[in-house]
């Protein structure tokens, strides 16, 4: 048991690196080719993509505005139909009463 | 601030204050109604809708002109399955905000034939008519109209004579 402990202690004992360790590591780093990074698309591709996105946003905005406008228009016409109808009905009754009163 | 200055400032603020819609509470009736129509157009929506009205169509052109002076249109119509779903007290609650000196009842009609009563109120402001309110009640229907702004009553009534506004055009594109 004691010999196993000694063996382990011996195997795991701290060892100083060789004097040229740092040099060797740095040389290895310098010799390793850099891994190529992700390339950005060409400038014209980016420009076209931005323009397409801007166009889509504008078209969507216009379409929504158009939808809102048509909706508001229908509400205005409905409002006029109801309000005008009721007012006209009252006006006609008043006219009829006036006419009857005169005759 | 001196009293005279305060008075002038108050009058100026009152003149600059935006015309407001009538505060009606519809909660009770909404629960009893079988069907309802709700039109709520503030100034911005009204002007947007007016832009989409055709100048070539005679009636739409008239509406466009009429709407130009308005700041809001608010309409609520309730339909009921049977008569008696709303009470005289309900009607009174709608009349309550339409009191003098701001509001004046100009017409009140009742028909025994169909049981319809129409009351027309106008709001007076410094420039003339500043608003319109209509309470139209039938046994199974109640309509409340509030138009905010300078409304031309003759033009509105004239528009009401003939309802040939295209109904299907609602969701169609121009």
> Tell me: the pLDDT tens digits for A2-43?
688 888 888 888 888 888 889 999 999 888 887 777 777 788
- The answer, yes or no, to whether residue B2 has pLDDT greater than 70, is no
Instruction: Note the residue count of chain A.
Output: 103
Confidence of residue B118 (pLDDT cuts 50, 70, 90): very high
Q: Do B160 and A81 touch (CB under 8 A)?
A: yes
- The answer, yes or no, to whether residue B78 has pLDDT greater than 90, is yes
pLDDT of residue B127: 78
Q: Do A83 and B160 touch (CB under 8 A)?
A: yes
Confidence of residue B139 (pLDDT cuts 50, 70, 90): very high
Q: Do B75 and A88 touch (CB under 8 A)?
A: no
Q: What is the rounded average pLDDT of the residues B138-159? A: 90
Here the tokens at position B79 are 């339909």
- The verdict on B157 touching A (C-beta cutoff 8 Å) is yes
* Higher pLDDT pick, B75 / A16: B75
Confidence of residue A67 (pLDDT cuts 50, 70, 90): very high
Confidence of residue B120 (pLDDT cuts 50, 70, 90): very high
Confidence of residue B19 (pLDDT cuts 50, 70, 90): low
Taking the C-alpha atoms of residue B174 and residue B169, their distance in angstroms, rounded to an integer, is 9
- The H or E element that residue A50 is part of is helix A43-102
- The H or E element that residue A103 is part of is none
- The answer, yes or no, to whether residue B171 has pLDDT greater than 60, is no
pLDDT of residue B146: 95
- The answer, yes or no, to whether residue B34 has pLDDT greater than 80, is yes
User: Are the C-beta atoms of residues B74 and B40 closer than 8 Å to each other?
Assistant: yes
* Higher pLDDT pick, A41 / B137: B137
User: Are the C-beta atoms of residues B107 and A90 closer than 8 Å to each other?
Assistant: yes
Confidence of residue B28 (pLDDT cuts 50, 70, 90): confident
Taking the C-alpha atoms of residue B1 and residue B121, their distance in angstroms, rounded to an integer, is 38
CA diameter of chain A: 137
- The H or E element that residue B84 is part of is none
- The answer, yes or no, to whether residue B140 has pLDDT greater than 70, is yes
User: Are the C-beta atoms of residues B79 and B86 closer than 8 Å to each other?
Assistant: no
- The verdict on B163 touching A (C-beta cutoff 8 Å) is yes
The residue among A72, A92, A99 with the most chain B CBs within 10 A of its CB, best to mutate, is A72
SS3 assignment, position B39: strand
Quick one: residue A89, left, alpha or beta (phi over 0 = left, psi -120 to 50 = alpha)? alpha
Mean pLDDT across chain B: 81
Q: Do B153 and A69 touch (CB under 8 A)?
A: no
Does residue B125 have a cis bond before it (omega within 30 degrees)? no
Phi and psi torsions of A10, nearest 5°:
-70, -40
Buried b (16+ CB within 10 A) or exposed e, A72-95: bbbbbbbbbbbbbbbbbbbbebbe
CB pairs under 8 A between A and B: 123
Q: Do A87 and B165 touch (CB under 8 A)?
A: no
Most confident among A92-101, B10-19, B93-102 (mean pLDDT): B93-102
pLDDT of residue B1: 45
- The answer, yes or no, to whether residue B103 has pLDDT greater than 50, is yes
SS3 assignment, position B98: coil
The residue among B36, B38, B39, B59 with the most chain A CBs within 10 A of its CB, best to mutate, is B39
Mean pLDDT across chain A: 86
Instruction: Note the residue count of chain B.
Output: 174
SS3 assignment, position B46: helix
- The verdict on A77 touching B (C-beta cutoff 8 Å) is yes
Quick one: residue B115, left, alpha or beta (phi over 0 = left, psi -120 to 50 = alpha)? left
Cross-sheet strand order for the sheet of B103-110: B35-42, B70-79, B141-149, B128-138, B117-125, B103-110
- The answer, yes or no, to whether residue B174 has pLDDT greater than 60, is no
Taking the C-alpha atoms of residue B135 and residue B126, their distance in angstroms, rounded to an integer, is 24
Tokens 């008519």, residue located: B129
């Amino acid at each position: 048991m004691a010999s196993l402990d000694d063996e382990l202690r011996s195997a795991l004992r701290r060892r100083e690196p060789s004097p040229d360790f740092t040099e060797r590591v740095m040389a290895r780093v310098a010799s390793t080719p850099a891994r190529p990074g992700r390339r950005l698309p060409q400038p014209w591709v980016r420009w076209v993509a931005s323009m397409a996105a801007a166009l889509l946003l504008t078209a969507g905005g216009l379409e929504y505005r158009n939808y809102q406008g048509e909706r508001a228009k229908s509400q205005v016409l409905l409002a006029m139909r109801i309000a005008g109808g009721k007012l006209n009905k009252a006006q006609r009754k008043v006219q009829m009463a006036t006419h009857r009163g005169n005759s | 601030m001196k009293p005279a200055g305060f008075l002038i400032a108050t009058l100026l603020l009152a003149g600059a204050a935006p015309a407001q819609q009538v505060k009606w509470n519809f909660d009770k009736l909404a629960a009893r109604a079988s069907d309802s129509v709700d039109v709520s157009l503030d100034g911005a929506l009204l002007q947007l809708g007016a832009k989409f009205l055709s100048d070539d169509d005679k009636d739409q052109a008239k509406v466009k002109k009429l709407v130009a002076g308005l700041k809001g249109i608010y309409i609520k119509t309730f339909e009921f399955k049977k008569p008696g779903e709303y009470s005289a007290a309900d009607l009174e609650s709608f009349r309550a905000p339409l009191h003098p000196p701001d509001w004046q009842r100009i017409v009140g009609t009742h028909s025994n034939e169909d049981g319809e009563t129409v009351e027309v109120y106008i709001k007076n402001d410094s420039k003339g008519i500043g608003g319109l309110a209509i309470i139209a009640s039938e046994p199974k229907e109640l309509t409340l109209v509030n138009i905010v702004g300078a409304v031309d009553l003759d033009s509105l009534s004239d528009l009401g004579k003939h309802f040939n506004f295209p109904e299907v055009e609602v969701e169609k594109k121009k």
